[in-house]
Amino acid sequence: MNKQSLRHIKREATANALADAAFALALEQGLDGFVVEDVVRRAGYSRRTFANHFSCKEEAVATAAVIFKGADEVKSWIEGLNEDTSPLDCLYQLMKMQLTTEHFQKLRKLVSLSKQHPSLEPYILSALHGLQLSAQELLNELSRGRYPEGYTHLLTGAVYGAVLPLLDGSLNVRLPDQSAANPQGAVTVTFDHYLDTMFSYLRSGF
């Protein structure tokens, strides 16, 4: 591993630690219940280090909820991919790996926080857009120019757009650790079923 790679890993680990500390404080005390000094104290870094990574505590909180901790799994998956695998199938597998129960719950908590603290909203949108762009760049790399320009934009936009209603509660979709009925007694579909249905529409139409 070269020095540049090691430096990147350390920088990413520092940002993640600061973001996780900010997110934990937001859940414990609400967004108005802590300041940046509390974040750096909990994470064990300086205020200057925080400023090197984030512009404010809101950005750090939003970043924590979209941190993807399965990068090694994705790397192994990419290395084993068949060259003929379609962008749609690649995106399906990526969503299955990326949207774990833990990740999804953090995203839902973030959206819930934003309803109480609207100042979070632009940072949430930016963070989610970052996830979408990462997926799009990956699809572009894997497709090697075999598909029309704009195709990967269309796919990622449709898929990530379809996830948003699950985060704000507009659609009743059940995660693996949730019961089959919500508090109102309405039966919900599983996330896997929702994902399969969504990709079925993309493959075959409505």
Kindly report, residue by residue over 147-201, the tens digit of the pLDDT. 888 899 999 999 989 988 888 878 888 876 666 555 555 557 888 899 999 999 9
What are the backbone dihedrals phi and psi of residue 146, each rounded to the nearest 5 degrees, phi first? -80, -10
Strand partners, 6: none
Q: Based on the domain organization, do 77 and 57 belong to the same domain?
A: no
0.85 exceeded by pTM: no
- The pLDDT, as a whole number, for residue 81 is 79
Q: Residue 77 pLDDT more than 70?
A: yes
d(CA 54, CA 28): 20
56 pLDDT tier (thresholds 50, 70, 90): very high
Q: Domain with 31 in it: what CATH number?
A: 1.10.10
What 3-state class would DSSP assign to 106?
helix
Q: Based on the domain organization, do 76 and 44 belong to the same domain?
A: no
- The pLDDT, as a whole number, for residue 85 is 84
Looking at the chain, the whole-number percentage of residues with pLDDT higher than 90 is 37
Q: Based on the domain organization, do 95 and 16 belong to the same domain?
A: no
Average pLDDT, integer, range 31-59: 96
What are the backbone dihedrals phi and psi of residue 190, each rounded to the nearest 5 degrees, phi first? -80, 160
Task: Convert the pLDDT of each residue in 93-113 to its tens digit.
Answer: 888 887 888 888 888 899 899
CA distances from 203 to 61, 86, 87, 99, 166 (A): 36, 11, 11, 21, 21
- The pLDDT, as a whole number, for residue 51 is 97
Q: Based on the domain organization, do 91 and 119 belong to the same domain?
A: yes
Q: Pick the last residue of a domain from 22, 43, 64.
A: 64
The range of the structural domain enclosing residue 77 comes to: 68-206
Q: Residue 76 pLDDT more than 70?
A: yes
